Each structure stands twice: as C-alpha cells, then as structure tokens.
Amino acid sequence: MLTLFKSNADRQARKVKVRRNPADRWAKTICGYCSTGCGIEVGVKDGRAVSVRGTKDHPVNQGKLCLKGIWEFEAINAPNRGTHPLMRDDPITPYRRVSWDAALTRTATEFRRIMGTYGRDALAVVSTGQIYTEEFYALGKLVRGGLGTNNYDGNTTLCMASAVSGYKRSFGSDGPPGCYDDFDATECLLAFGSNLVECHPVIYYRLKTALERRRFPVVVIDPRVTVFAQNADIHLAINPGTDLVLLNALAHVVLEERLANREYIENYTNGFDAFVETVTQYSPEYAEPITGIPASTIRNVARIYGRANAAMSIWTMGINQSVHGSDGVVAINNLALLTGNIGKPGGTSLSITGQCNAMGTREFSSCSGLPGYRQLENQEHRAEIAKYWGVDESFFPTKLGKTMTDIFPDIEAGKVKGLWLIATNPATSMPDTHRIAKSLSNLEFLVVQDVFENVDSAEYANVFLPAAMWAEKTGTFTNSERRVGLVRKAVEPPGEAKSDLEIFSAMAEKLEVGHLLPSPTSEVMFEELKTISKGRPCDYSGLSYDALEREGGIQWPAPTEEGSPRLYADGHFHTADRKARFIALEFHDINERPDDEYPFWLNTGRVIEHWHTRTKTGQIGNLNKFSPIPYVEMNSIDANQLGMTSLDSVRVISRRGEMTVIVQVTECVAPGMIFIPFHFAKGSNFMTLGLLDPYSRQPAYKQAAVKIEKFSVL
C-alpha cells in the first residue's frame, strides 16, 4: 500500500493549517454534510458562527474534519439564505415577500383543494436526508396521520434505497450491522463502488489509521482508478454494472475451495441449497468476460476473503445506483453469511450511507411505512401507531405508495397535481432532468422548503418557505454505523427562517390537525420516538440528549445508554424464523449499453469539495475555488483518437440530453469510459437515463451510453 507521507516529520510539515477565528463559545454538533457523523464544534462570536473545530476525542473522527466540515460555518452565513417566506401566483411572475401566515394559509388551502378535487394521493411530499430525526418523525406524523397521502418519500431513494432493500431481503430489517471499529479487527476489506478518500474522507482516515497499526489486504472494486483504488493492495477495474457476477463468482470459489463456514450456515441461515445451485454456474472463467476481471484474480481475492478470520465489505453508490443495486447488496450479504462474517468484530457488510441523516429518515420518517421500521402492510403495526397518535387506524393505507422516482412519472402523467419539496432539489438531482423540469412545470401547486432561496427547484415553485439550517436548531442525526448524535443549536436562523419542525407544526395547525404536533420542540418529539421505538430494531428508549452529548453519540439498538456497536452478534435476525436468508441471484443485463452511435459509458460521482447539488457548497468560496465548474475525465487513448486534449470544450451527448464541459485527460478512467461530477445544475443528469432497480426503485445513475463531440461555436 502507498503511504501518503514519508515520515512523521513530513506529515507535520505538510499539514494544512486553517486559521481559526476567535470565538466566545463553542456549541457541540455533528457535521451536517455526510453520513460519517463527525463531531464538530461551532465557534460563536457575537451571536454569529465564525469558526468550527473537530471535537477532540469524538468516537468517530477524533478531532479530524474534511474540507467540507472545516468550512461548514460559512454555509450558515452564506449568501442566498432564505430569510422570508416568498409567494407568487404562478412560476413565471417574480416572488414577493409575504408573512408566514399568508404563505402557510395558501399552502394549506392548495393542499386541501388538490386532495379534495383529485383524491388524497394527488398531493405528493418528498423530503430529504438532511433534517433531524425529530423533524422526520414529525413530518411522518403529519403526512401519515394528518394529510393521508400515500405519495410520500425522501430523496434517500436516490442514494440508499438499494442498501435498505438488500438488508431487508437478507436480514429481515434495515440497519447496517457493523461499525467503523471493525477496521481495527478485520483481516480483509472489500470495498465496492466507493471512493472513500473523496466521499467519506474521515472514514478513510479511520481505515488508514487501522492499517498503520496492522496491515491487512484492501481490495477496491471500481471501474475507475479512484484515489482509494490507487491506495489499495488490489484494484479490480470491473465493467460497469457487473458486480453481481463478480460476487457470485467469489462465492463460487469460496464453496469450491471449502472456505465456507458450515457451522454458521447450518445454525443461522436458510436458503443455502438454492444459493449453491445458482452460484455453481458462476465460475471465475464464466465471470471473466462479463466483469473484465481475470479468473485467476477472482480466485485470488476469494481466497484472501475466505481465509481471513474476519472479513468485511463496505460499499456506496457504485453498488446502490444500479439496476441490480438491491441484488448487489444481497450478494454482498450472501458472501458475508457464507463465511460467518456478520455480527463479529471485523466481520460485517457495512453500507456507507450518503447524507448526514439518511439513517434518521430510514428509522422514523414513515416514508417506507410507519416509524420504528414498522410496515403499513402489518395490521399490528398500523394499530400500534394509530393508537399512539390518536388517529383512526383505517386512515392509514395498507400498502406502501410511490417512491420519489415513481412520483415524478405520475406528475408527468397528470395524476399528481401538488408537491411539497423539503430540503431536496430534484431539478438537479434526478436523472434525465429535462423531463423533471417539464414535470415540475406541470404541477398545479409546488411548495419548496429549503435553507437557500436560490435552490434550482424553487424556479418552478409557487411558495418558498425559508428553513433554518443545521446548528440553527437542536436535534439528532444517525450516522452510517447507527450512532445517534446530538446537534445543539449554536446560532439563531436568519431573518424569519424557522426550523423544519416549527414549519411542520405550523402547517399542521393550518391543516386543522394541530393536535398531532402541539409542541414544536425537538425534546418532545425525541421522547415520542423513544417511546414508540422500545423493543423495535432501532430502539432509542435508553437514550437522552445529555448522554448523547456526553458520549459523542450512541449506537442503536439502545435500550440502555450502553448502545450496541454491532447487530446480529447472537446470530438472530429480524425474520420470522430468526434466520438470515441466502438468496439465489441470477444476473440479467437490462441496462443501456454503449453502441456504435453512443460508444462511451458515462459514470457520475462526487468530488471532495462539493456536496450533492451544491446548494450549500456552491455558496462557499473556499470550496468553490478548488472546484468551480464541471469537467469530463477521458482516457488519453480516446482523447487522441478524437483529437481532444485537456481544457478543450466538448459536448457530451446521450439520447436524453447533452452538456458542454471541459476535458481532463487522465488514465483514471479506462478507454471507452468517461466520468463527470454530478453536482452541477444543468449538468450530467441531462444525460443520465436512470432506469430503476426493481426492488428499491433507485436509479442507475452510473451507467448511461453517450457520445462526445468537440464543441464549436461556428
């Protein structure tokens, strides 16, 4: 493995030093960007956020922060913050400032009109992974218990739905079973479709620290030679969308070479025979032409994984954002079950989540059912929540409604007439954004609730509701290792902006269901979700804000303050027979592929400086200056053939749309593949197709066919 520094002295000399503005006081929070869950303190002077520092001895980041975290206080003071409610008669006239009462009255009136005229499901609500768990819970209570639409989802469908679906299929419930401490005990790490170095830098720091103490093999599976791949022991440059074939072949070799844990399989799993029958067909020789990975390399990796006393897999969007996303997750779980690598130190299948509170929405938002991982299909679950909320059980639908990715086609088809967007920006984030723009224009009424009033989706809205940001309110986030952390309010929101919880509570009042959310305080919501979580997989009942602050977060299930670093340590799962399920998976190649007309694979992803659609990071000079515009990475062989060189402007064209972008010639992408960061408006999502995974309904952002032409103004 490469080391970044020649010596400790070299490390010290090359440390980046950031000037820290003096502060009167420091408020303890958890970072509001990614799911790593770093402890971060906000320095406050004269009521203004002026600085941040990593929380020393925090169990996640031990004082370290990445670029985004270091400049996070600038997001609070950035231009374009929403300070007043805005309203207009239609999306082509200018907004005008209005009172909260006027904005909420109009919104409630339109919601009632649309639901009364076209039916309850004609209104859709799409939220986020950015607000606090208490706010998610309150929103779910309002939507499921008050509004009653079944078209309710979060933008986490765009990033984590396949992980959720895969965990449910294998283990009977959502919930990443491992933790970051597993790096300290593992003997082998497989990392699928994850550029940890850029996308989760502090988790990479944890991995690197573990490797400095004790070497173990790191295998990165990624079509692109990412910085993570460059630092791995083995890089498998897999053909896009073929992970399932590789995973079946790895299982094939583990079985063939008698490396399976028969005792674990016998005691804690079912479905083994059908699984064996399927993977028997996936020899490394069969997998080689499909995956592009030599059979001998597949055998070598399978032996390393199978012989380790403890082996773990991590993954992010390279697995999830695929038409086989859910199957890919199940296949990773299959491999872990085959070798008994679940619930033990160093042995896990750990999805690295995306947004800072993507986990919170999974646990308590009611997007995928009812709070506490309850299901709408389960009568007992409906009855429990109806009783606790004081609503009629028959008000709940008995099966789950549409996901975000199915709601937009319904808008296009005229079935959904009204939309409430909360801290999400589909005008930039959804695939095939030309179509999304048309859909947003089709709506009779759109309300956008966000911290920035220049968010792209507000262009199509009738009402804009200004929300408070992270650190302008108190509440909790859950990170990728199920650690619930507390964010204390550090500063007041700007102008008349309100916390999302206050907005939900005021909206409930206007909709005449104020009894559901009588107190817009996070502590009250936290006590409610603690009560209903008791005995559920995500048990919060032993938690308190004081304990969360003192410990730097606690991992659920937490019937006591102790918490639980790992799930399934006793081999009991959340299925009817308490056993995990092996699931036999066949590979069906259903995605768009490059052809003579569109000969390149387009892959999209993040860069270290930016976060999602840049609503926050696009306002921060210290991040923007390092990554001001999009670019396309192109292999030198392709660049030579097309007569292109770095900094040339080119048109990247798919069957859906095109963008003009500058070239960066590199060897980090293979010939025939290109990579474009997805953060920029009117960018890569003009070209993406976004076919959906059949289980999770997550789009395949990472595989689209495109052609490239030199840009000319003549």
Please say which residue, 180 or 272, places its beta carbon nearer to ligand SF4: 180
Distance CA 167, CA 463 (A): 38
Please say which residue, 275 or 611, places its beta carbon nearer to ligand SF4: 611
Please say which residue, 31 or 232, places its beta carbon nearer to ligand SF4: 31
The closest residue (CB) to ligand SF4 is 69
Question: Which positions ≥6 away from 312 have C-beta within 8 Å?
Answer: 178, 182, 183, 186, 188, 189, 190, 336, 341, 346, 347, 348, 349, 350
Report the SS3 class of residue 233: coil
Please say which residue, 357 or 449, places its beta carbon nearer to ligand SF4: 357
Please say which residue, 32 or 154, places its beta carbon nearer to ligand SF4: 32
Least Å from the CB of residue 67 to ligand SF4: 7
Least Å from the CB of residue 354 to ligand SF4: 10
* Radius of gyration in angstroms for the set of CA atoms belonging to the chain, rounded to a whole number: 24
Taking CB under 6 A as the criterion, which residues in 576-605 touch ligand SF4? none
Least Å from the CB of residue 564 to ligand SF4: 22
**Residue among 23, 28, 36, 351 that touches ligand SF4 (CB under 6 A):** 36
Question: Which positions ≥6 away from 17 have C-beta within 8 Å?
Answer: none
Please say which residue, 50 or 416, places its beta carbon nearer to ligand SF4: 50
Assess 31 for contact with ligand SF4 (CB under 6 A).
yes
CA distances from 57 to 169, 208, 210 (A): 37, 17, 16
Count the residues of the shown chain that bind ligand SF4, applying the rule CB under 6 A: 13
**Residue among 27, 33, 128, 131 that touches ligand SF4 (CB under 6 A):** 33
Please say which residue, 333 or 355, places its beta carbon nearer to ligand SF4: 355
Segment lying near ligand SF4 (by CB under 6 A), choices 33-41, 143-151, 159-167, 379-387: 33-41
Least Å from the CB of residue 468 to ligand SF4: 19
Least Å from the CB of residue 265 to ligand SF4: 37
Taking CB under 6 A as the criterion, which residues in 648-677 touch ligand SF4? none
Please say which residue, 40 or 602, places its beta carbon nearer to ligand SF4: 40
Least Å from the CB of residue 430 to ligand SF4: 23
Let me know: does 630 contact 683? Beta carbons within 8 Å.
yes
**Cβ-count burial of 258 within 10 angstroms (0-12 exposed, 13-18 middle, 19+ buried)?**
exposed
Segment lying near ligand SF4 (by CB under 6 A), choices 28-36, 481-489, 661-669, 670-678: 28-36
Q: Which two tokens stand for residue 255?
A: 């079985």
Please say which residue, 206 or 697, places its beta carbon nearer to ligand SF4: 206
Which amino acid is residue 46, in one-letter code? D
Q: Which two tokens stand for residue 284?
A: 């490394």
Please say which residue, 131 or 404, places its beta carbon nearer to ligand SF4: 131
Pinpoint the alpha helices (H) of 18-99: 67-70, 72-76
Distance CA 181, CA 333 (A): 19
Please say which residue, 34 or 142, places its beta carbon nearer to ligand SF4: 34
Which amino acid is residue 224, in one-letter code? R
Binding-site string for ligand SF4 from residue 68 to residue 107, where x marks contact by CB under 6 A and - marks none: xx--------------------------------------
Q: Please name which of 516, 233, 170, 574 lies closest in space to residue 375, comparing C-alpha atoms.
A: 574
**Residue among 23, 27, 29, 34 that touches ligand SF4 (CB under 6 A):** 34
Segment lying near ligand SF4 (by CB under 6 A), choices 29-37, 151-159, 599-607, 643-651: 29-37
Least Å from the CB of residue 17 to ligand SF4: 17
Least Å from the CB of residue 356 to ligand SF4: 7
Least Å from the CB of residue 212 to ligand SF4: 19
Q: Is the dihedral of CA 196, 126, 575, 572 positive or negative?
A: positive
Taking CB under 6 A as the criterion, which residues in 56-75 touch ligand SF4? 61, 65-66, 68-69
Segment lying near ligand SF4 (by CB under 6 A), choices 2-10, 34-42, 139-147, 313-321: 34-42
Least Å from the CB of residue 38 to ligand SF4: 3
Please say which residue, 201 or 343, places its beta carbon nearer to ligand SF4: 201
Taking CB under 6 A as the criterion, which residues in 262-301 touch ligand SF4? none
Least Å from the CB of residue 65 to ligand SF4: 4
Least Å from the CB of residue 68 to ligand SF4: 4
Taking CB under 6 A as the criterion, which residues in 501-520 touch ligand SF4? none
Please say which residue, 31 or 336, places its beta carbon nearer to ligand SF4: 31
Least Å from the CB of residue 328 to ligand SF4: 24
The beta strand positions in 171-329, using DSSP E, are 189-192, 218-221, 234-236, 269-270, 312-315
Least Å from the CB of residue 317 to ligand SF4: 15
Pinpoint the alpha helices (H) of 625-679: 636-642
Report the SS3 class of residue 312: strand
CB atoms within 10 A of CB 180: 25
Please say which residue, 343 or 553, places its beta carbon nearer to ligand SF4: 553
Let me know: does 642 contact 673? Beta carbons within 8 Å.
no
Distance CA 284, CA 277 (A): 15
Q: Which two tokens stand for residue 354?
A: 């995306």
Please say which residue, 353 or 684, places its beta carbon nearer to ligand SF4: 353
Question: Each residue of 133-146: b (16+ CB within 10 Å) or e?
Answer: bbbbbbbbbbbbbb
3-state helix, strand, coil in the chain (%, to 5): 35, 20, 45
Place of tokens 């999400």: 424
Which amino acid is residue 315, in one-letter code? W
Distance CA 183, CA 310 (A): 10
Least Å from the CB of residue 483 to ligand SF4: 12
| Cα 549 → chain centroid | 24
Taking CB under 6 A as the criterion, which residues in 170-229 touch ligand SF4? 200-202
Reported for 667-670, long-range contacts at CB under 8 A and 24+ positions apart, including other chains, are: 667/225, 667/635, 667/636, 668/224, 668/225, 668/226, 668/633, 669/223, 669/224, 669/225, 669/603, 669/633, 669/634, 669/635, 670/223, 670/224, 670/237, 670/635
Q: Which positions lie near ligand SF4, rule CB under 6 A? A: 31, 33-34, 36, 38, 61, 65-66, 68-69, 200-202
